[in-house]
Amino acid sequence: MENPVVAEAAPAIVELTEGKTYFWCACGRSGKQPFCDGSHKGTPFEPLSFIADKSKKYFLCQCKHSAKKPFCDGSHKHLL
């Protein structure tokens, strides 16, 4: 199985809007991290869609190894 690219070994802190649908990059290849730009085409990865439950800042995973995708769970600390 192919592993995702580690886009960055730190979470992206982003302001999301309540009720809006977002597409989180699962492959790590997107130039619009942490969001999908279609760069996964030709890979076994698909973006993860999710809806923000509140309008606030979120910590989104960029190492692509979180057990709580799309949210950061600190997994990037173990990749270094």
Per-residue pLDDT tens for 53-79?
Answer: 999 999 999 999 999 999 999 999 998
Q: Tell me the pLDDT band of 80, cut-offs 50, 70 and 90.
A: low
Q: Which residues pair with 74 in a beta bridge?
A: none
Unique residue bearing structure tokens 């993860």: 48
> Does the global pTM surpass 0.85?
yes
Measured over all CA atoms, what is the biggest interatomic distance in the chain, rounded to whole angstroms? 36
Residue 77, helix vs strand vs coil? helix
Do you find a cis peptide bond into 34, omega within 30 degrees of 0? Answer: yes
CA distances from 40 to 3, 31, 32, 33, 50 (A): 12, 11, 12, 12, 17
Asked if pLDDT for residue 38 goes beyond 90, the answer is yes
